[in-house]
Amino acid sequence: MPELVFFSGTMDCGKSTLALQIGHNRSARGLEGVIFTRDDRAGEGKLSSRLGLVTDAVEAASGMDLHAYLVGQLSKGGRVDYVIVDEAQFLAPEQIDQLARVVDDLGLDVFAFGITTDFRTRLFPGSQRLIELADRIETLQVEAMCWCGARATHNARTVGGEMVVEGEQVVVGDVNRPAAEVGYEVLCRRHHRRRLTSAAARAGELSPDVLPFAPS
C-alpha cells in the first residue's frame, strides 16, 4: 500500500542525504520520481546535502498545488513512481493535504523530510500537518550532537554568534555559517533553554578568572 512517510529530525542529522539515497536506490531499479523542495541551502530548485551531494528538484513555491502538478505530469504522459519532498516543514498545511491526496488518489508513495520545530521550539505548520496526516513517522537514526556531546534535540538560530529567540519563523541559513551571518546550531534542550551555544561556551572558557577583591 502506498504511504505518506514523514522522516523527521533536527538540522544536521542527515535528512537530505537520506532523501537523495532513497531517490538513488529507486532510480537504480528503473523507477522515476519527482523531487520537491523548498528554500534549499543550494538555491531554488535544488536538493542538497551537507556531504556535497546535489540534484535538481522542483521548487514547491508558496501557493503551488502539488497534487495538480503531478496530475499534469501524468496527463502529459510522464511517468511518476514515487515522490520525495525535502524541507517539508516549509510547506503550507494545504500542501501537505495535497500530498496525502497524491498517496490516496494517485497511489504513489510520498517520502517527506523535515525538521519538526523552529528555533523557538514551536512546530512548523507543515510539520504539524504531517504529524497529523502521515501514515508513518520515522525519526532519523543519525543523531545530531550538541557541542556538549549530548544528543541534540533543538534547533537554535544565531545572529552575530549569539542565540536569538525572536524573529520570522523562516529565515534560510545553515550550520557552520560565519558568526556575523544568520546561522543555526543544534543544541540539547538544557543548553537551548540556557541559550548557551558553542561560541558562548568557548567565550566563557576564555574569560579571565575574576581576581579576589582585597579591601583597603
Catalytic residues: 87
What does each C-alpha distance from 116 to 36, 90, 102 come to in angstroms? Answer: 18, 10, 22
Contact assessment for residue 109 and residue 84, using Cβ atoms and an 8 Å cutoff: no
- DSSP-H helix ranges across the chain: 15-28, 66-75, 93-106, 125-133, 189-193, 198-206
For strands 154-159 and 162-164, give the pairing.
antiparallel
Q: How far apart are the C-alpha atoms of 110 and 2, rounded to whole Å?
A: 8
Helix (H), strand (E) at residue 187: strand 182-187
Please identify which residue in the block is written with the cell numbers 535528512.
15
